[in-house]
Protein backbone atom coordinates (compact mmCIF):
# COMPACT_ATOMS: atom_id res chain seq x y z
CA UNK A 1 0.00 0.00 0.00
CA UNK A 2 2.80 2.38 0.92
CA UNK A 3 4.57 1.72 -2.36
CA UNK A 4 1.38 2.32 -4.35
CA UNK A 5 0.70 5.54 -2.47
CA UNK A 6 4.24 6.74 -3.14
CA UNK A 7 3.89 6.06 -6.85
CA UNK A 8 0.48 7.75 -6.86
CA UNK A 9 2.00 10.92 -5.37
CA UNK A 10 4.97 10.67 -7.72
CA UNK A 11 2.62 10.59 -10.70
CA UNK A 12 0.76 13.62 -9.36
CA UNK A 13 4.00 15.57 -9.03
CA UNK A 14 5.55 14.60 -12.35
CA UNK A 15 2.48 15.46 -14.43
CA UNK A 16 2.33 19.03 -13.12
CA UNK A 17 4.92 20.55 -15.54
CA UNK A 18 3.28 18.75 -18.47
CA UNK A 19 -0.29 19.53 -17.45
CA UNK A 20 0.62 23.13 -16.60
CA UNK A 21 1.60 23.61 -20.23
CA UNK A 22 -2.03 22.93 -21.07
CA UNK A 23 -3.43 25.63 -18.80
CA UNK A 24 -3.47 28.15 -21.63
CA UNK A 25 -5.08 25.50 -23.86
CA UNK A 26 -7.90 25.03 -21.35
CA UNK A 27 -8.41 28.77 -20.97
CA UNK A 28 -8.45 29.24 -24.74
CA UNK A 29 -10.96 26.41 -25.11
CA UNK A 30 -13.21 28.04 -22.53
CA UNK A 31 -12.98 31.34 -24.39
CA UNK A 32 -13.73 29.75 -27.75
CA UNK A 33 -16.62 27.76 -26.30
CA UNK A 34 -18.24 30.97 -25.04
CA UNK A 35 -17.68 32.65 -28.40
CA UNK A 36 -19.32 29.67 -30.09
CA UNK A 37 -22.45 30.31 -28.05
CA UNK A 38 -22.00 27.82 -25.21
CA UNK A 39 -22.71 28.81 -21.63
CA UNK A 40 -20.29 28.38 -18.74
CA UNK A 41 -21.99 25.16 -17.60
CA UNK A 42 -21.99 23.72 -21.12
CA UNK A 43 -18.30 24.55 -21.66
CA UNK A 44 -17.32 22.99 -18.34
CA UNK A 45 -19.40 19.86 -18.99
CA UNK A 46 -17.69 19.59 -22.36
CA UNK A 47 -14.31 19.20 -20.67
CA UNK A 48 -15.64 17.09 -17.82
CA UNK A 49 -17.27 14.54 -20.11
CA UNK A 50 -15.04 14.56 -23.21
CA UNK A 51 -11.58 15.46 -21.86
CA UNK A 52 -9.89 15.44 -25.27
CA UNK A 53 -8.47 18.82 -26.18
CA UNK A 54 -8.04 18.55 -29.95
CA UNK A 55 -11.52 17.14 -30.58
CA UNK A 56 -13.04 19.76 -28.27
CA UNK A 57 -11.39 22.54 -30.26
CA UNK A 58 -12.61 20.97 -33.49
CA UNK A 59 -16.14 20.66 -32.12
CA UNK A 60 -16.46 24.28 -30.98
CA UNK A 61 -15.05 25.35 -34.34
CA UNK A 62 -17.87 23.49 -36.08
CA UNK A 63 -20.47 24.74 -33.60
CA UNK A 64 -19.38 28.33 -34.21
CA UNK A 65 -20.13 27.75 -37.91
CA UNK A 66 -23.58 26.38 -37.13
CA UNK A 67 -22.57 22.77 -37.83
CA UNK A 68 -23.88 20.17 -35.38
CA UNK A 69 -24.67 16.44 -35.30
CA UNK A 70 -22.76 13.78 -37.21
CA UNK A 71 -19.94 16.04 -38.55
CA UNK A 72 -18.89 16.69 -34.94
CA UNK A 73 -19.08 12.99 -34.07
CA UNK A 74 -17.06 12.03 -37.14
CA UNK A 75 -14.34 14.64 -36.60
CA UNK A 76 -14.06 13.61 -32.94
CA UNK A 77 -13.72 9.95 -33.93
CA UNK A 78 -11.00 10.66 -36.47
CA UNK A 79 -9.03 13.05 -34.28
CA UNK A 80 -9.15 10.70 -31.31
CA UNK A 81 -8.12 7.67 -33.35
CA UNK A 82 -4.55 8.33 -32.24
CA UNK A 83 -5.58 7.21 -28.73
CA UNK A 84 -5.78 3.67 -30.11
CA UNK A 85 -2.08 3.96 -30.88
CA UNK A 86 -1.41 5.24 -27.38
CA UNK A 87 -3.14 2.20 -25.97
CA UNK A 88 -1.28 -0.18 -28.28
CA UNK A 89 1.99 1.39 -27.17
CA UNK A 90 1.32 1.05 -23.44
CA UNK A 91 -0.75 -2.17 -23.49
CA UNK A 92 2.09 -4.71 -23.70
CA UNK A 93 3.50 -3.32 -20.45
CA UNK A 94 0.32 -4.29 -18.61
CA UNK A 95 -0.20 -7.88 -19.70
CA UNK A 96 -2.29 -9.76 -17.19
CA UNK A 97 -3.92 -6.62 -15.78
CA UNK A 98 -7.72 -6.97 -15.37
CA UNK A 99 -9.73 -5.31 -18.11
CA UNK A 100 -11.60 -3.05 -15.66
CA UNK A 101 -8.33 -1.58 -14.42
CA UNK A 102 -7.15 -0.98 -17.97
CA UNK A 103 -10.48 0.72 -18.71
CA UNK A 104 -9.99 3.11 -15.80
CA UNK A 105 -6.47 3.90 -16.99
CA UNK A 106 -7.82 4.47 -20.49
CA UNK A 107 -10.20 7.15 -19.18
CA UNK A 108 -7.21 9.27 -18.20
CA UNK A 109 -5.16 8.58 -21.32
CA UNK A 110 -4.68 11.70 -23.43
CA UNK A 111 -1.83 13.54 -25.11
CA UNK A 112 -0.37 14.97 -21.91
CA UNK A 113 -0.58 11.83 -19.80
CA UNK A 114 0.67 9.62 -22.63
CA UNK A 115 3.74 11.85 -23.05
CA UNK A 116 4.54 11.40 -19.35
CA UNK A 117 3.76 7.66 -19.26
CA UNK A 118 5.80 6.85 -22.35
CA UNK A 119 8.78 8.81 -21.05
CA UNK A 120 8.41 7.21 -17.60
CA UNK A 121 8.48 3.69 -19.05
CA UNK A 122 11.25 4.42 -21.56
CA UNK A 123 13.52 5.70 -18.78
CA UNK A 124 13.20 2.52 -16.73
CA UNK A 125 10.05 3.13 -14.70
CA UNK A 126 8.05 0.03 -13.84
CA UNK A 127 4.45 -0.21 -15.08
CA UNK A 128 2.27 1.18 -12.30
CA UNK A 129 -1.45 1.87 -12.34
CA UNK A 130 -1.03 3.98 -9.20
CA UNK A 131 1.50 6.26 -10.93
CA UNK A 132 -0.75 6.67 -13.95
CA UNK A 133 -3.81 7.30 -11.78
CA UNK A 134 -2.07 10.09 -9.89
CA UNK A 135 -0.95 11.70 -13.14
CA UNK A 136 -4.38 11.36 -14.74
CA UNK A 137 -6.28 12.89 -11.83
CA UNK A 138 -4.07 15.99 -11.63
CA UNK A 139 -4.14 16.48 -15.40
CA UNK A 140 -7.94 16.15 -15.40
CA UNK A 141 -8.34 18.71 -12.61
CA UNK A 142 -6.00 21.24 -14.25
CA UNK A 143 -7.70 20.94 -17.64
CA UNK A 144 -11.17 21.41 -16.20
CA UNK A 145 -10.17 24.26 -13.90
CA UNK A 146 -8.58 26.01 -16.89
CA UNK A 147 -11.71 25.49 -18.97
CA UNK A 148 -13.84 26.99 -16.21
CA UNK A 149 -11.53 30.02 -15.96
CA UNK A 150 -11.66 30.61 -19.71
CA UNK A 151 -15.43 30.17 -19.88
CA UNK A 152 -16.02 32.44 -16.87
CA UNK A 153 -13.99 35.30 -18.33
CA UNK A 154 -14.95 34.51 -21.92
CA UNK A 155 -17.18 37.51 -22.30
CA UNK A 156 -14.20 39.84 -21.78
CA UNK A 157 -12.37 38.59 -24.89
CA UNK A 158 -13.65 38.80 -28.43
CA UNK A 159 -10.58 37.73 -30.42
CA UNK A 160 -8.07 35.25 -28.96
CA UNK A 161 -5.80 35.77 -31.99
CA UNK A 162 -5.04 39.31 -30.85
CA UNK A 163 -3.25 37.86 -27.81
CA UNK A 164 -1.55 34.99 -29.63
CA UNK A 165 -3.58 32.47 -27.64
CA UNK A 166 -4.61 30.55 -30.74
CA UNK A 167 -1.02 29.21 -30.93
CA UNK A 168 -1.08 27.76 -27.41
CA UNK A 169 -2.33 24.30 -28.41
CA UNK A 170 0.34 23.95 -31.11
CA UNK A 171 3.06 25.12 -28.72
CA UNK A 172 2.05 22.47 -26.19
CA UNK A 173 2.45 19.67 -28.74
CA UNK A 174 5.81 21.04 -29.87
CA UNK A 175 6.92 20.85 -26.24
CA UNK A 176 5.87 17.18 -26.05
CA UNK A 177 7.81 16.48 -29.22
CA UNK A 178 10.98 18.24 -28.08
CA UNK A 179 11.38 16.21 -24.89
CA UNK A 180 10.91 12.89 -26.73
CA UNK A 181 13.51 13.27 -29.48
CA UNK A 182 15.95 10.72 -28.06
CA UNK A 183 17.77 9.65 -31.25
CA UNK A 184 18.40 10.55 -34.88
CA UNK A 185 15.63 8.10 -35.84
CA UNK A 186 13.13 10.02 -33.69
CA UNK A 187 14.18 13.24 -35.41
CA UNK A 188 13.75 11.66 -38.86
CA UNK A 189 10.34 10.23 -37.93
CA UNK A 190 9.24 13.62 -36.61
CA UNK A 191 10.42 15.34 -39.80
CA UNK A 192 8.68 12.84 -42.10
CA UNK A 193 5.48 12.96 -40.06
CA UNK A 194 5.51 16.76 -40.12
CA UNK A 195 5.96 16.79 -43.91
CA UNK A 196 3.16 14.25 -44.35
CA UNK A 197 0.90 16.25 -42.02
CA UNK A 198 1.49 19.39 -44.09
CA UNK A 199 0.47 17.51 -47.24
CA UNK A 200 -2.58 16.13 -45.43
CA UNK A 201 -3.55 19.62 -44.31
CA UNK A 202 -3.20 20.94 -47.85
CA UNK A 203 -5.38 18.13 -49.18
CA UNK A 204 -8.04 17.81 -46.48
CA UNK A 205 -7.56 20.20 -43.58
CA UNK A 206 -6.66 19.65 -39.93
CA UNK A 207 -8.29 16.25 -39.46
CA UNK A 208 -6.51 14.81 -42.50
CA UNK A 209 -3.22 16.26 -41.24
CA UNK A 210 -3.57 14.45 -37.90
CA UNK A 211 -4.41 11.12 -39.53
CA UNK A 212 -1.74 11.24 -42.26
CA UNK A 213 0.97 12.48 -39.91
CA UNK A 214 0.15 9.84 -37.29
CA UNK A 215 0.06 6.96 -39.79
CA UNK A 216 3.37 8.08 -41.29
CA UNK A 217 5.06 8.01 -37.89
CA UNK A 218 3.54 4.61 -37.06
CA UNK A 219 4.63 3.02 -40.35
CA UNK A 220 8.19 4.31 -40.10
CA UNK A 221 8.41 3.21 -36.46
CA UNK A 222 7.07 -0.27 -37.31
CA UNK A 223 9.52 -0.72 -40.18
CA UNK A 224 12.41 0.22 -37.92
CA UNK A 225 11.26 -1.97 -35.05
CA UNK A 226 10.37 0.95 -32.77
CA UNK A 227 7.41 0.97 -30.38
Same domain? For 104 and 207 the reply is no
Residues 174 and 187 in one domain: no
pLDDT at residue 143, rounded to an integer: 92
pLDDT at 226: 45
Q: Which tens digit of pLDDT belongs to each residue from 31-72? A: 888 888 888 899 999 999 888 877 788 788 778 777 677 777
Verify that 163 and 222 share a domain, yes or no: no
Number of domains, the chain = 2
Beta strand ranges found along the chain (DSSP E): none
The pLDDT score that the predictor gives to residue 146 is: 93
| Contact in structure between 147 and 46 (CB atoms under 8 Å) | yes
Give the residue with greater pLDDT, 151 vs 215.
Answer: 151
DSSP states of 59-104? HHHHHHTT--SHHHHHHHHHHTTHHHHHHHHHGGGGTT--HHHHHH
> pLDDT confidence of 26, banded at 50, 70, 90?
confident
59 and 128 both lie in a single domain: yes
On whether both 21 and 124 belong to a single domain, the answer is yes
In this predicted model, what pLDDT tens digit does every residue of 73-121 receive, in sequence order?
777 777 777 788 888 888 888 888 888 888 888 888 888 888 888 888 8
Buried b / exposed e over 43-68, threshold 16 CB at 10 Å, is bbebbeeebbbbbbbbbbebbeeeee
Query: Which residues span the domain enclosing 195?
Result: 181-227
Q: Which residues contact 23 (CB under 8 A, 6 or more apart)?
A: 142, 146
Looking at the structure, do residues 74 and 171 belong to the same domain, yes or no?
yes
Q: pTM to 2 decimals?
A: 0.70
| pLDDT (0 to 100) of residue 149 | 92
217 and 163 within one domain: no
Mean pLDDT across 187-210:
83
Please check whether residues 109 and 197 belong to one and the same domain.
no
Same structural domain, 89 and 152? yes
Which pLDDT belongs to residue 123? Answer: 81
For residues 32 and 87, state if they share a domain.
yes
Identify the domain boundary among 178, 199, 215: 178
Is the Cβ–Cβ distance between 79 and 58 less than 8 Å?
yes
pLDDT band per the 50, 70, 90 thresholds, residue 219: confident
The verdict on 152 and 204 lying in the same domain is no
Amino acid sequence: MGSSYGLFVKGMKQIIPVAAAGIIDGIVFGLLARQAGLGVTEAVLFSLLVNAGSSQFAAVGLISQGIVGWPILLSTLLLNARHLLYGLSLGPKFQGTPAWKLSLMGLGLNDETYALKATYLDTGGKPSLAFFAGAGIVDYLIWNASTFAGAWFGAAFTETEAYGLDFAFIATFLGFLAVNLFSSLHVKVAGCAAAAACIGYWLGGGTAAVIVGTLTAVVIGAVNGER
